[in-house]
Structure 1
Amino acid sequence: MSDLAEARNAGLSAPRHGYRTLRLGPFSRRLHLRRGLLLLLLVIATFALALYALGAGSQDVRLGQALAALTNPEANVPALHRIVSDLRLPRILLALACGAMLGLSGASLQSLTRNGLADPGLLGVREGASLAILLLLYNLPGLPLFARPVAGIAGGVAAAAVTIVLCGSVSRLRFILTGIGVSWFLSAIVAMVLLAADADKMQTAMVWLAGNLAASSWDIVALACAFLVAGAILLFLSAAAGDAAQLGDGLASGLGVNLKILAGIRLLAPILLTAACVSVAGSLGFVGLIAPHLARLSIGGGQIPLLAASGLWGAILVLAADTLGRTLFAPLQLPAGIVLAAIGVPALLLLLWRRRHQL
Structure 2
Amino acid sequence: MTRTAVDPCTTAAPEEDPAARRTPRAGLLAAGLGIALVAALTAAVCLGSTDIAPGHVWSVVLRRLGGAAARAGTDDLIVWQLRVPRALLAALVGAGLGLVGTATQAMVRNPLADPYLLGISNGASLGAVAAIVLGVSADSLLGLGLSAAAFAGALVSFALVWCIARRGGGFSPLRLVLAGVGIGQFLSGFTSYLVLQAGDEQQTRSVLFWLMGSLGGATWSVLWLPAAAVAAGLLALQARARAMNALIMGDETAAGVGVDVTRLRRELFAVTGLLTGVLVAVSGAIGFVGLMVPHLCRLVVGGDHRRLLPLSALTGALLMVVVDLVCRTAMDSQELPVGVVTAMIGAPVLLFLLDRRMEAGA
TM-score range, shorter chain: 0.7 to 0.9
Contact 1:123-1:163 within 8 A present in 2 as well: no
- How do residues 56-135 of structure 1 correspond to structure 2 at under 5 angstroms? 56-72=47-63, 77-135=72-130
Question: Which range moves more in the overlay, 319-328 or 235-244?
Answer: 235-244
Measured in 1, the distance between the counterparts of 2:244 and 2:271 equals: 13
Measured in 1, the distance between the counterparts of 2:274 and 2:336 equals: 27
1:269-296 CA-to-partner distances (Å, cap 9, x unmatched) read 1111111011011011111000101111
Contact 1:58-1:331 within 8 A present in 2 as well: no
Partner of 1:317: 319
Measured in 1, the distance between the counterparts of 2:350 and 2:253 equals: 32
Q: Residue 228 and residue 71 in structure 1: after superposition, are their counterparts in 2 closer, same or farther (change >3 A)?
A: same
Measured in 2, the distance between the counterparts of 1:332 and 1:271 equals: 33
1:164-205 CA-to-partner distances (Å, cap 9, x unmatched) read 479986435x86577556544433321111111312433322
Measured in 2, the distance between the counterparts of 1:100 and 1:159 equals: 26
The structure with higher relative contact order (CA 8 Å, sep 6+) is 2
Match of 1:71, as an amino acid? Answer: L
Match of 1:129, as an amino acid? Answer: A
Q: Residue 355 and residue 299 in structure 1: after superposition, are their counterparts in 2 closer, same or farther (change >3 A)?
A: closer
| Shift, 1:151, TM fit | 0.7
Q: Residue 210 and residue 163 in structure 1: after superposition, are their counterparts in 2 closer, same or farther (change >3 A)?
A: farther
TM-score (norm 1): 0.82
Partner of 1:10: none
Partner of 1:21: none
Contact 2:103-2:272 within 8 A present in 1 as well: yes
Contact 1:152-1:278 within 8 A present in 2 as well: no
Contact 1:117-1:289 within 8 A present in 2 as well: yes
Measured in 2, the distance between the counterparts of 1:355 and 1:188 equals: 32
| Shift, 1:163, TM fit | 7.2
Q: Residue 67 and residue 105 in structure 1: after superposition, are their counterparts in 2 closer, same or farther (change >3 A)?
A: same
Measured in 1, the distance between the counterparts of 2:70 and 2:186 equals: 55
Measured in 2, the distance between the counterparts of 1:84 and 1:137 equals: 29
Contact 2:99-2:234 within 8 A present in 1 as well: yes
Partner of 2:345: 343
Measured in 1, the distance between the counterparts of 2:76 and 2:271 equals: 37
Q: Residue 313 and residue 75 in structure 1: after superposition, are their counterparts in 2 closer, same or farther (change >3 A)?
A: closer
- How do residues 1-359 of structure 1 correspond to structure 2 at under 5 angstroms? 34-72=25-63, 77-136=72-131, 138=133, 141=137, 142-144=140-142, 145=144, 147-148=148-149, 150-158=151-159, 160-161=161-162, 164=165, 170-172=172-174, 179-180=180-181, 182-199=183-200, 200-356=202-358
Match of 2:351, as an amino acid? Answer: L
In the alignment, structure 2 segments of 5+ residues that lack a partner are 1-14, 17-22
| Shift, 1:77, TM fit | 4.8
Question: What value does the CA root-mean-square deviation take over the aligned residues?
Answer: 3.0
Match of 1:63, as an amino acid? Answer: P
Measured in 2, the distance between the counterparts of 1:181 and 1:129 equals: 15
Q: Residue 50 and residue 355 in structure 1: after superposition, are their counterparts in 2 closer, same or farther (change >3 A)?
A: same
| Shift, 1:337, TM fit | 1.4
Match of 2:50, SS state, is: coil
Alignment size in residue pairs: 329
Contact 2:93-2:226 within 8 A present in 1 as well: yes
